[in-house]
Structures are given as structure tokens and as C-alpha cells.
Homo-oligomer: A and B are copies of this chain.
Amino acid sequence: MQTAASVSHKASRPRADALRNRERIVTAAREMFVEFGADVPFDEVARRAGVGNATVYRNFPDREALVREVVCSVMDRTSEAAEQALAETGDAFEALERFAHTAAAERISALCPMLSSAFDRHHPDLEAARVRVDTLVARIMDRARAAGQLRDDVGSGDLLVGIAQLSRPPAGTGCLSADRFVHRHLQLFLDGMRAPAPSSLPGAAVTVEDLRAS
């Protein structure tokens, strides 16, 4: 980090405040997608982000672009949480639990729109992020399974969908009060994943790949 000239080419670099604003918009959109669904008015997103509405329209040509950026951002955060969990050297199942609770708090449910029909699930950015998440989560689960702590018949998709569904706010407006319940129910779900399995599950283990099938 030099005093100046730390960045090579300045021609294509956007202004610093522009980047900051873009980030604030994505954050606001992520929160609002989770609470109100993927069709919140742009003006509302702008208001929560503390910017003018024009700034939103300037950064994102259409709704899909914003949604995609939000989904990618959430997947990246999830991947980071997964990497952190993998770095933990202690109990394998405990690492899995830590990851799950962190992902729930990170509002992973914002990536539900990914399953929506009116959404290009094959965009390169998404594919890359998806593979990354899937791989990391599968690694965490494999480790717990190898330790004999995780049942055999569950896949990364089962875990991620469970987290997403259980961490969604019920439906009404800003019902964040449920956050107190979320971790209870997620913990129950995780306990159900422990080995030995007391029941057999219908269907086969689900991967993230399976989720994007129609």
C-alpha cells in the first residue's frame, strides 16, 4: 500500500463513492428481498440504501441485474462462512452447526429467487458461485460424515434448502421477531441430520444442482 499510484490504471476505475453506493444498494436489496420478496419497488430500495432512485437505475439496468448481484453476493458470503467452518479443527459436526447458524444469520434465504421461474439460472456468474458453494458445503458434510456424526442420506441441497426455508421471515411485514425462533428450529433440523438416522427419508439426497432443475 503506497501513498499514491497504488492502482495501476485509473481510466476504467469508477469513483470511490460510486462503488460505495453500489455496495449499499446491494446490501439494502438483500435485506428487503428477504423481508418482502424479490419485487420490492426500486424506490424503496433506494430509500433504505440512502441514495436517490436514479442511482439504482444507473447501476442496474433492470431488475434481473440487481437480483443476480444480490444472489451472487449471498452465495459469496455463504462460501466464506463455509471456508471458515472448514478451517475449524475441532469437532466436525460442530463446524457444520456453526456454518448453518452463520448462513441463517446471513439471510441465505435471499437466494430463493434463484429458484424462481423468471430468472436466468444459467448465467455464468451464478454457475460459478453455485459450484463453489456446493463444493465447500459438501466438503464440510463429508468431514462430519467421515467422523460418523452425519447420516448418509442427506446432501448439500438438503442442508441449504433447510436453512433457507427455516430462516425466512414468515410472510408479514418486517416480522424479524421470528429470528428468535429461527435458531431453535434450525437446531432441530440439524439434530435430525445426526447419525445414526432414526428414520429413512423419501427420495434421494439433494445437491444444489438438483435445485435448479425445473
Contacts and interface: CB of A to CB of B under 8 A. Distances in A.
Interface in A77-136: 112-113, 115-119
B184 A201 contact: yes
Contact of A158 (B38, B154, B188, B192): B188
Interface residues of A, number: 48
A183 interface: yes
Contacts of A161: 170, 178, 181, 185
Contact of A185 (B177, B178, B183, B189): B189
Given A113-B171, A194-B198, A188 B118 contact: no
Interface in A131-174: 154, 157-158, 161-162, 164-166, 168, 170-174
Nearest to A155: B184
A86 B38 CA distance: 41
Chain B CB count within 10 A is highest, among A161, A181, A183, for A181
A199 B191 contact: yes
Complex A-B, nearest 8 residue pairs according to Cβ-Cβ distance, in ascending order: A116-B172, A192-B192, A191-B192, A188-B192, A112-B171, A115-B170, A117-B173, A184-B201
Interface of A: 37-38, 112-113, 115-119, 154, 157-158, 161-162, 164-166, 168, 170-175, 177-178, 180-181, 183-185, 187-194, 197-199, 201-203, 206, 213-214
